[in-house]
């Protein structure tokens, strides 16, 4: 039944996917025809305009385009990007790997750090350590993500010359093999990752802390303590696993928003990920690419929502027994 619910939702989303890009005013032709700020404008006659629209299949009636879109999806064909003049699927894959790399690693870092710090803070609730930790984590993490990114660039890339301004790798580094390449990629990865970690850390930290607090007040913790079990064991073996339960679902849902969530950081650091791709495709009204990009984003969200539900059902023994 639950799966059926999601299927219906998916269908609605697929349709929205098709209509949303077309709802945006303008059409793919204006971006296709040049940036008026750097070159001679293309002088399009109405006839040429019609020709172009026909070439890209844009002048067919909407219902027919919709049908083509659904059929294409069923075949696994995501279409051809108007702006980049390449198959949508290859563009998406090429960019997805960078987004996954960046947000994946950042997620691992801030989740681990958040859980550790949150649990620690909960343990020390009310003390100076707790408040100090709270204030510092939030002071670092409340900056608007693009602002933090720009400041990091100005300080570390420009003033200190320690990191590159942007991009995922230096031109030419892709040819140099092995260790050189890894070093170069990490070098470019550091600042954007730092931005992401700082921005998302407070959320996980607070969640863990509150969840942990709730758990620490429970009877079974008291029991464990009065049994004489050492404190760190109490925390790690008894309290934390239960505290993590509600967090797991939140984290799983966070993963769902991974693609769009990194958009600001990607744009600021010119990181060639899905975020910048969708942003550019949006500006250019590249319908096929937008459809493909949104499809991927929605798939992520739906998948992780589903995973969150299922995971929770598995992990929570109370629900499992039911």
Partner 1 sequence: MSRLLGAIRGQKLALVGLAVLAFFGLLAVFAPWLSPHDPEEMDAPMLPPTGSHPLGTNDIGQDILSELFYGARFSLLVGFLSAGISTVIGVVLGVISGYYDRLGFTIMRVVDVFLAVPRFPMMVFLAAFLRPGLWTLVLFFVLFGWTRTTRLVRSQILSERNNGYVEAARMVGASDFRIIGRHLLPSTVPIALVRLIVEFQHVILAESGLSFLGLGDPTVKSWGTMLHYAFGYPTIFISDVWVWWAVPPGVCLTLVVLALTFTGFSLEERANPRLRRAWKRGRITDTPEHGEERDGAKSVRLPSKIHAVRPRTTT
Partner 2 sequence: MRIIKKKQAMSTLLALLLVCLLAGCNSAPTPTATSVPAAPTSASALEPTSTPAPPPAPEPVALTLPGDDWGYPSPFAFYSRGPGYLRMSFIFDTLTWKDEEGVIPWLADNWDVSEDGTEWIFTLHSGVAWHDGEPLTAEDVAFTFDYLKEHQESFQWSWPVDKVARTEIVDERTVTLYLTEPIAGCHVDLVGSVPIIPKHVWENVEDPAKFTAEEAVIGTGPFKLVEYSKEEARYIYGANADYFKGSPAVDTLTFIKVENEALALETGTTDYASFWGKEIEAVQAFEDNENYGIIGGPSFWVLQMIFNTQKTPFDDVELRRAVAHAIDREEIVEQVTHGGAIVASLGIISPFTDWHNPNLPVYEYDPAKAKAMLEDLGVTDLNLMLITTSGFAREAELVQADLAEIGIEVEVQTGDRSTIDGLLREGNFDLAINGHGGIANPAILRTPTWPAESYSNDEYDQLYQQQASTVDEEARRELVWQLQAIIAEDLPVLTLWHPKMWTVYDASKLDTWFYTKGGVGLGIPIAMNKLIFLER
Binding site for partner 1 (CB under 8 A): 5-6, 8-9, 12-13, 16, 20-21, 23-25, 123, 125-126, 131, 134-135, 138-139, 142-147, 150-151, 153-154, 158, 202, 206, 210-211, 213-217, 222, 225-231, 234, 260, 263-264, 267, 278-279, 282, 290, 294, 297-298, 301-302, 305
Least distance to partner 2 from the beta carbon of 256, Å? 25
Told to check if 175 binds partner 2 by CB under 8 A, we report: yes
For partner 2, the closer CB: 258 or 284: 284
Residue 180 engages partner 2 in binding (rule: CB under 8 A): no
3-class DSSP string for the chain: CHHHHHHHHHHHHHHHHHHHHHHCCCCHHHHHCCCCCCCCCCCCCHHHHHHHHHHCCCCCCHHHHHHHHHHHHHHCCCCEECCCCEEHHHHHHHHHHHHHHHHHHHHHHHHHHHHHHHHHHHHCCCCHHHHHHHHHHHHHHCCCHHHHHHHHHHHHHHHCCCCCCCCCCCCCCCCCCHHHHHHHHHHHHHHHHHHHHHHHHHHHHHHHHHHHHHHHCCHHHHHHHHCCCCHHHHHHHHHHHHHHHHHHHHHHHHHHCHHHHCHHHHHHHCCCCHHHHHHHHHHHCCHHHHHHHHHHHHHHHHHHHHHHHHHHHHHCHHHHHC
- Our finding on whether 154 is near partner 2 (CB under 8 A) is no
147 binds, among partner 2, partner 1, none (CB under 5 to 8 A by kind): partner 1
**Residue 37 binding partner 2, by CB under 8 A:** yes
Q: Is 219 a residue that touches partner 2 (CB under 8 A)?
A: no
241 binds, among partner 1, partner 2, none (CB under 5 to 8 A by kind): none
- CA 81, chain centre distance (Å): 22
| Interatomic CA distance for residues 239 and 306, integer angstroms | 26
Q: Which does 40 bind (CB under 5 to 8 A by kind): partner 1, partner 2, none?
A: partner 2
Q: Which of 14, 44, 248, 307 binds partner 2 (CB under 8 A)?
A: 44
CB of 13 to partner 1, least distance (A): 5
According to CB under 8 A, which one of 7, 12, 71, 165 is a site residue for partner 2?
165
Picked from partner 2, partner 1, none, the partner binding residue 72 (CB below 5 to 8 A depending on kind) is: none
Nearest distance, CB of residue 217 and partner 1, angstroms: 3
Decide: is 283 part of the binding site for partner 2 (CB under 8 A).
yes
Q: Does 84 bind partner 2 (CB under 8 A)?
A: yes
Nearer to partner 2, 3 or 126 (CB): 126
Residue 198: phi and psi, rounded to 5, are -60, -40
């Amino acid at each position: 039944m639950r799966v059926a619910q999601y299927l219906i939702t998916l269908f609605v989303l697929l349709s929205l996917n098709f209509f949303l890009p077309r709802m945006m005013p303008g059409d793919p032709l204006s971006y296709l025809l040049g940036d008026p700020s750097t070159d001679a404008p293309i002088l399009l006659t109405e006839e040429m305009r019609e020709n172009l629209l026909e070439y890209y299949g844009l002048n067919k009636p909407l219902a027919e385009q919709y049908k083509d879109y659904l059929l294409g999806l069923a075949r696994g064909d995501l279409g051809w990007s108007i702006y980049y003049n390449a198959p949508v699927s290859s563009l998406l894959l090429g960019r997805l790997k960078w987004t996954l790399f960046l947000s994946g690693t950042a997620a691992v870092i801030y989740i681990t750090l958040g859980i550790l710090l949150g649990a620690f803070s909960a343990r020390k609730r009310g003390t100076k350590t707790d408040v100090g930790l709270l204030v510092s984590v939030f002071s670092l993490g409340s900056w608007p993500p693009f602002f933090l990114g720009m400041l990091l660039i100005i300080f570390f890339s420009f003033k200190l010359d320690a990191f590159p301004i942007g991009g995922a790798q230096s031109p030419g580094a892709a040819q140099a093999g092995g260790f050189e390449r890894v070093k170069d990629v990490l070098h470019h990865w550091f600042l954007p990752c730092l931005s992401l970690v700082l921005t998302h850390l407070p959320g996980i930290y607070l969640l863990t802390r509150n969840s942990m607090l709730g758990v620490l007040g429970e009877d079974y913790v008291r029991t464990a303590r009065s049994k004489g079990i050492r404190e760190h064991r109490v925390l790690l073996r008894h309290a934390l696993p239960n505290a993590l339960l509600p967090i797991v679902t939140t984290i799983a849902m966070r993963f769902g928003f991974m693609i769009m969530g990194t958009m600001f950081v990607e744009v600021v650091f010119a990181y060639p990920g899905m975020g910048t791709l969708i942003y550019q495709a949006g500006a250019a009204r590249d319908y096929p690419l937008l459809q493909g990009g949104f499809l991927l984003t929605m798939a992520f969200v739906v998948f992780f929502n589903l995973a969150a539900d299922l995971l929770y059902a598995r992990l929570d023994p109370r629900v499992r027994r039911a």
